[in-house]
Amino acid sequence: MASGVKKAAPDSIIDMLPIADGGEGTMDCMIEAVGGHIVTVSIHDPLGNARDARYGLLVDGTVVIEAAEANGLELIERDERNPLLMNTVGVGELIVHALDAGHTSFIIGIGGSGTNDAGIGMLYALGVRLLDVNGNELEPLPLSLSQLFTLDCSQLHPNLRLTTMHIATDVSNPLCGEQGATAIFGPQKGVRSEWIDSLDQGFRQLSVVIDRQFGISTADMPGAGAAGGMGAAFVGVLGAKLGRGIDIILEMTDFNRRAKAADLIFTGEGKTDTQTLQGKAVYGVVVRAKTLGTPVICVSGSYGSDVEDLYDMGLDAMLSIVPGPVSLEQSLLHAKAYIVQTCFQAMRIFLAGQRQ
């Protein structure tokens, strides 16, 4: 984008701000935008295999975790994906490492999840034990939830009481029901249709326990179903604050000041579609830029026919980078050149308008 703008306006001053919305790339974007370094930790993947994972430590001491580093869908080969046997223990292990190092401020992006355990694996790694009605300990696996009666937090990591957690998500689905975590996102993680009702019932049982023990209702809470229900565990048990990932990140990167100083904003994504309107990065940029009076151009690989609402929200132009009928493979292969040319043309049009 910057190359295309410079090609059209060599004297322009460009402020490049990497952003993400809580999914993959959030950690690297935050470090590039704010400053910091990567910490590498040995953890367990969703099937319990040892692997290395990373978290970011910003210059102000804030820990940035991408849950997908430990429970991402891409970590497990397609033929090995069995959500009944997969959990989020690795996510908890990342948090434990940062807690043991004395860190107390966390931003945790939970997009890109490959698990559907409502975060009980993560809670287990932090010291929570799952008990049935007879006080017997349950395994931290999805099917255990239907037998859950108590969350024993007596061994919860002691540093958590000093900790603030901001959970960044890009979806607003509740924990349970037809729009819940299992029904909407389960199939892409390997949940079979005949498992959905029983898994959803387990999630509902967890919400009953959380409500009884912590006084927080998570079954219908927007965002509680994010990351296979992990949002519910963070908010209901750990007292974390759940928010749109893009809003959290724009605040951290001082977006408002930087955008207000700009004459024009370029943003973009792979495909702009209805998911964009649910709180993706482009949506966050457009909504904020409108309040600041700064025009925005969205440059994407492609866009759907049902995203005109973005114009009402403040978007000034939406452009596809492809120069004509091309295959997806060709578009990906030449994406950089296409983006440069599209931004060059967009900038020339903007400059022409400025001269009038």
Q: How do residues 160-205 score in pLDDT, each as one tens digit?
A: 999 999 999 878 899 999 999 999 999 989 999 999 999 999 999 9
DSSP state of 277: G
18 located within any domain: no
- For position 290, what pLDDT does the model report? 93
Residue 335 CA to residue 133 CA, distance in Å, equals: 57
Q: Which of 165, 25, 37 is nearest to 107 (CA)?
A: 165
Write out pLDDT tens, residues 294-323: 999 999 999 887 888 899 999 999 999 998
Instruction: Please report which confidence band the pLDDT of residue 123 belongs to, taking 50, 70 and 90 as the band edges.
Output: very high
- Determine the Cα–Cα distance for residues 335 and 342; give it in Å rounded to an integer: 10
Q: What pLDDT is recorded for position 353?
A: 84
d(CA 168, CA 172): 11
Contact 241, 247 (CB under 8 A): no
Cβ(340)–Cβ(7) below 8 Å: yes
Q: 206, 224, 246: which is the final residue of a domain?
A: 246
Under the banding of pLDDT at 50, 70 and 90, the label for residue 280 is confident
Whether 294 and 175 share a structural domain: no
- Assess whether pLDDT exceeds 90 at residue 324: no
Residue 176 sits in the same domain as residue 210:
yes
What is the structure's pLDDT at 104? 96
Q: Band of the pLDDT at 276, cuts 50, 70, 90?
A: confident
Q: Are residues 212 and 272 in the same domain?
A: no
Same domain, 63 and 176: yes
What percent of the chain has pLDDT above 90? 78
Query: Is residue 231 a part of any domain in this protein?
Result: yes
pLDDT given for residue 39 in this prediction = 97
**Residue 21 within a domain:** no
Do 187 and 262 lie in a common domain? no
| pLDDT top residue among 303 and 49 | 49
Backbone angles phi, psi at 255, to 5 degrees: -60, -45
Q: 291 and 171 in one domain?
A: no
Q: Is residue 20 part of a domain?
A: no
3-state class of 200 per DSSP?
Answer: helix
CATH code of residue 266: 3.40.50.10350
Whether residue 105 is found in the same domain as residue 39: yes
- Same domain? 112 vs 87: yes
CATH number for the domain spanning 193: value is 3.90.1510.10
Contact yes or no for 97/41 (Cβ under 8 A): yes
**In the listed set 212, 246, 280, which residue is the last one of a domain according to the structure?**
246
275 pLDDT higher than 90 = no
* Residue-range definition of the domain harbouring residue 117: 26-246
Q: At 273, is the pLDDT very low, low, confident or very high (cuts 50, 70, 90)?
A: confident
CA-CA-CA-CA torsion sign (108, 72, 282, 236): negative
CA terminus-to-terminus distance, the chain? 24
The reply to whether 219 and 284 lie within a common domain is no
Residue 311 covered by a domain: yes
Task: Identify whether residues 171 and 68 lie together within a single domain.
Answer: yes
In a domain, 19, yes or no: no
Cβ contacts of 282 within 8 Å, gap of 6 or more: 267, 268, 269, 272, 276, 298, 300, 310
Q: Which pair of tokens denotes residue 148?
A: 């859950």
The last residue of one of the domains, among 228, 246, 264, is 246
In a domain, 135, yes or no: yes
